[in-house]
Amino acid sequence: MDPASLEKVLSAHPETKVVIPVHYAGLPCNMPAIKALADKVGASVIEDAAHALGAVYPTGEKVGSCVYSLMTVFSFHPVKAIAAGEGGMITTNDPAVYRELLRLRSHGINKLDDTFQVPEQAFTNGKQNLWYYEMQELGYHYRITDIQAGLALSQFKKLDAFIARRRELVKRYDAAFKDSPTIRPAQSSNDRRLSGHHLYVIRVDFTKAKYTRTELMQELRKREIGTQVHYIPVPAQPCYRKMGFRPEDYPNANAFYAEALSIPLYYSLTNKQQDTVITALKELLA
């Protein structure tokens, strides 16, 4: 999210209630600038940090500390830094929001510390009825399972090692593609050391390449190298087109989408395997 573009949007839409920056591929957005702009119009900030577990702001705080937001949302999907099978985590420093989240995740029920609203049903002779609970608002079944939570907690102990290895792999990719005329990293920020490095995305000008993106992915697959595109721009999806959004109104997203290709990046990727990926890309895109 570009703060300069955000400022223009908020100036045109001061009624905006929520600003949701996405820490794409694990690199944090410019949160101090985004928070300052949101505050001007009274909008809340919710960080989408699904890619950024373990990432750090330039100011030194960990992503998820919520120093620049009301909430930060993480993902424990199988391909994320911590894999719990599914589920996720929300962090906040706001006690009221915390209790609201507890209710929303479990059918509107929070058994921990909500004050009972119908005390005549909650107590008998001044003592709390052991079976009693209250559904104080309409909630949902958003609970992560105990087994998944246990797995996630065990994975947290390994997070520093996971991130350290990903950073090593990123440095090797950066060095390999440094002088390439056809391959450039999607994120060239000097603050890459702050990233959670969920993805390594390269940009390729396929109008000048020997292969189309589909053909390149097929050629890499023949060499047992898996790749992916992250992501198709949201306004291009049928659901959002029906709402009136037009992909052509988002030229930056479209330009990025036309060139993006995610290449292998994961903790157990060996140097030898990575060298195979690098060699294949250089040969195919020469």
Mean pLDDT, rounded, for 75-84:
90
Q: How high is the mean pLDDT of the chain?
A: 94
- Calpha distance 128→120 (Å, rounded): 10
pLDDT of amino acid 190: 62
80 belongs to the catalytic site? yes
The confidence band for 111, taking pLDDT boundaries of 50, 70 and 90, is confident
Q: Is 70 exceeded by the pLDDT of residue 28?
A: yes
CA 260 to chain CA centroid, Å, is 17
Q: Which residue has the tokens 């520093």?
A: 160
pLDDT at 189: 58
Q: Which range has the worst mean pLDDT, 12-21, 107-116, 207-216?
A: 107-116
- Identify the pLDDT of residue 245: 95
Give CA angle at 107 (101, 113), nearest 5°. 55
pLDDT for residue 131 is more than 80: yes
Band of residue 286 on the pLDDT scale cut at 50, 70, 90: confident
The gap from C-alpha 154 to its chain's centroid, in whole angstroms, comes to 21
Alpha carbons within 13 A on the beta-carbon side of 152: 20
At residue 239 the predicted structure's pLDDT band, cuts being 50, 70 and 90, is very high
Across 1-15, 61-75, 158-172, 186-200, least confident range: 186-200
Q: For residue 191, what pLDDT is reported?
A: 66
Which tens digits make up the pLDDT trace of 262-278?
999 999 999 999 999 99
Q: Which one from 80, 222, 242, 282 is the annotated catalytic residue? A: 80
Q: Tell me the domains of the chain and their CATH numbers.
A: 3-156 (3.40.640.10), 159-284 (3.90.1150.10)
The identity of residue 49, as a single letter, is A
Instruction: Give the whole-number percent of the chain exceeding pLDDT 90.
Output: 91
Please work out, in degrees rounded to the nearest 5, the angle formed at the alpha carbon of residue 128 by the alpha carbons of 126 and 131. 150
What is the per-residue pLDDT for 13?
A: 97
Mean local confidence (pLDDT), 55-69? 95
